[in-house]
Chain A
Amino acid sequence: MTGVIVTTINLTAIYALVALGISLTWAGLGFLNMSAGVMYAGAAYGAWLVSTEISTNVVVVLLGGILTGIVFGALVCLTVFLPLDGKPNWEIRTITATLALSFVGVNIYQWKFGPQFKQFEPLFSWLPQFRLGDALVKSTVTGTVIATAVVVTIVLIYIGSSRIGLGVRALTQSAEGAALVGINRRTAAFAILGVSGAFVGLAAVLLGQTFFVEPNSGYVPLIKGLIVALLGGLGSLRGAVIAAFMVALCEALTLQYFGGAWVLITLFLLISIVLIIRPRGVAGVLETTRA
């Protein structure tokens, strides 16, 4: 049972990261970033290149992943948000554009890196392993939790105290209100997509400790990130964390008692049930209060 708890905590951290990126983009900019998967794979390749070409130091590799993620976030901002902002058919066009971007990205990875699996050197092997009840807490899990906590704290402080962060918060509250007090939507867009890229990039390096990196490796995190973001209620950061925990628990229990093949099936049942009971997600009050 403690094994389930350890897996849950590990997965919660990673899913929450991807979902926070997606949720923040929705709340601040009003579009669903379907290219989060390609940002994820890109950051994983970036970090992998850093670890093979520059240094295997844990901080350098993590920074490599996060910075690549930020670059990808800026790219999405330049190619999707800025050209489409304020244009007709916004909803379907942003979905199409981000899907197109992910289609292009996956094929570029396939072309440049080939279909072979890339594996990271273990980053956290210097951390101690310890036992919790009858389960062994691997150093990767400890590292994941610490790294997530550090990065999320830094981002929260940045959003909470900087001037751009103030704009981002205003934008997530009300787009009209933010415009009225003179907040530049475009600057804030870069900040929002940068932060979401940083989260996704960190998640890519952390999950890269357990799974191989390949061109399509962003697809499953994208689907899970979307599931978590929607389950939590789009735009709610607290909801995203709660939903990440629910999804991780569901996955850990399924892994323990049914096996890996059943994970998607139980997850699908979970989201169907939650969304039918609460169509706006666990904490989805945002849209009703806005309207």
Chain B
Amino acid sequence: MPKRSADLVHYAVLAVVFLIALAVPFVFGTLSILGSMTVFLLLLSWSISWRQGDKVSSDGKPDRSSWLFWAMAGVIAIVIPIIAGTPFLLATMVAFFIYLTWNTMWGLVLGTAGLQSFATVAVAGIAGYAAAYMTIDIANSNAAAAGAECSGNRLLGLPVVDWWLAIPIAAVVGLVVGFLISLPAIRLRGIYFALLTIGLVELCRAYTGQDKCNLGGAQGLFGASSFIPSEMMGSATGYRYAYAAAVLLAIVTLLIYWKVNYGRLGLLLRTARESEPVAEVLGVDVVRARMWVFLISSSMLGVAGGFYVSYYKSISPNFFNFSTVLLLFAMVVIGGLNSPRGILIGTMLLMFVDRRFVDVSPPEARFIFIGLLLLVVTLLASGGLVSVPDQLRHRLMSKGKRGSGPSAGLPEEVGAIAQEANMPPGSRPGTG
């Protein structure tokens, strides 16, 4: 078949899949659009990477043909409130965009920089608590309830502010926390850093549950100032307003991801991730680059934390539960943590599974399913769902040219590097 007509057939098939995906909510209810669009975007991403072949590496320069993917993602974001704009679905989508923001920024640290940080939830939560504290006069409302225990004074005599000031404050708090977290990252490596950050999340949960006077103890803080005007609250207009704001948040986040990941900083970080000694020899200031990625991602995590509080109007110690960390982690890795496409698809997929099966009995079945899904994808796909075409192609290539090793057709040195990359970390020489 000539190339042009093959292209035509290809796009026609994708268009048909898209139309089917659009029709699904009319048959199976509005929530199913999240699932059908996940399937469509995954197929689209697979077709793009399959056709691209080996021309572009899985993470490296921005792949030019991915414009189609992001254009379609934009179309979907516009189409959803039009054809499935129920308050329930719009509320789900707002939560989705908040998660997407956290996950994309986590992907920057976990994927691009290759730092095993679990502090995402801690940064977002601390910033969220800060935003909630700034908009709620907890000291006065609590002083009555808790009696003489609490002084009734706000910390440092801080004034109570509105949401539009609380969200920038949350960003600054995120920035500061991110800076503090980046300090041990200079000395600690891999697993050691992972543990320290898991411990940090646990510490946050323990502390917020203890501090009744300032942070409301186990109940947390509620009644924060909302960005939805009070006359729109609870109405369909209010949900559409929140949806638009959340889309804006996600767009800003993706632009930041793009700028960092495909810019100079991303290049430096990936060099340092692959080999720190090489990066240093090349004159890369590894410490500085890593500090930057923490500062950038943490301030955005803080913004999303403030946005979360301003939307839900409350935050509690449950925010720091390990299951939250696990769910977000699953969202980041299941799609593929080295590409924004993977993070988008992973977040959509697990968001859909989480919400669609929310009333399944027993309630544990949903989490068991999510866990098994994560396990199966991790065991079978080397770099998440979006990496499947690359993996398949490599397998087919090595089958076709058996006898010349797994990386047939590559120069000898590249083959050796590829083989070394397959070894477990403990056995790899020169990397600590």
Contact = CB atoms under 8 A, between A and B. Distances in A.
A107 B367 contact: yes
Contacts of B326: 99, 103
A268 B200 CA distance: 8
B368 A271 contact: no
Interface residues of B, number: 52
B199 A275 contact: no
Given A87-B382, A95-B116, A287-B432, A275 B370 contact: no
A255 interface: no
A223 B184 CA distance: 19
Given A30-B424, A108-B364, A111-B364, A279 B188 contact: yes
Nearest to A287: B432
A138 to B, nearest CB: 27
Interface stretch (B2-10, B124-132, B156-164, B371-379): B371-379
Interface in B59-97: none
Interface in A260-291: 261, 264-265, 267-268, 271-272, 275-276, 279-281, 287-288, 290-291
Given A86-B422, A275-B184, A219 B322 contact: yes
A116 interface: no
A264 B206 contact: yes
A176 B362 CA distance: 47
Contacts of B429: 291
A111 B432 contact: no
Contact of B203 (A85, A93, A265): A265
Interface residues of A, number: 57
A187 B291 CA distance: 43
Interface in A110-167: 110-111
Contact of A91 (B190, B382, B383): B190
Given A92-B337, A93-B378, A276-B184, A85 B210 contact: no
B189 interface: yes
B15 interface: no
Interface in A87-103: 87-93, 95-97, 99-101, 103
A260 to B, nearest CB: 10
B284 to A, nearest CB: 20
Contact of A226 (B116, B195, B426, B430): B195
B427 A291 contact: no
A175 B367 contact: no
Contacts of A32: 191, 194
Contacts of B370: 103
B368 A288 contact: no
A210 interface: no
Interface in B326-350: 326, 329-330, 333, 337
A84 interface: yes
Nearest to A286: B426
Contacts of A52: none
A227 B378 CA distance: 26
B368 A104 contact: yes
Contacts of A90: 423-425
Given A83-B379, A276-B184, A291-B431, A268 B199 contact: yes
Interface string B102-121: 00000000100000100000
Given A86-B422, A219-B322, A264-B206, A107 B337 contact: no
Interface string B155-196: 000000000000000000000000000001001111110111
Contacts of A91: 116, 190, 425
Question: 7 tightest A-B contacts by CB?
Answer: A30-B426, A104-B371, A175-B427, A103-B371, A111-B364, A100-B374, A100-B375
7 contacts: A90-B423, A93-B382, A103-B371, A226-B198, A265-B207, A268-B202, A279-B188
Interface of B: 110, 116, 184, 187-192, 194-196, 198-200, 202-203, 206-207, 210, 322-323, 326, 329-330, 333, 337, 362, 364-365, 367-368, 370-372, 374-375, 378-379, 382-383, 421-427, 429-432
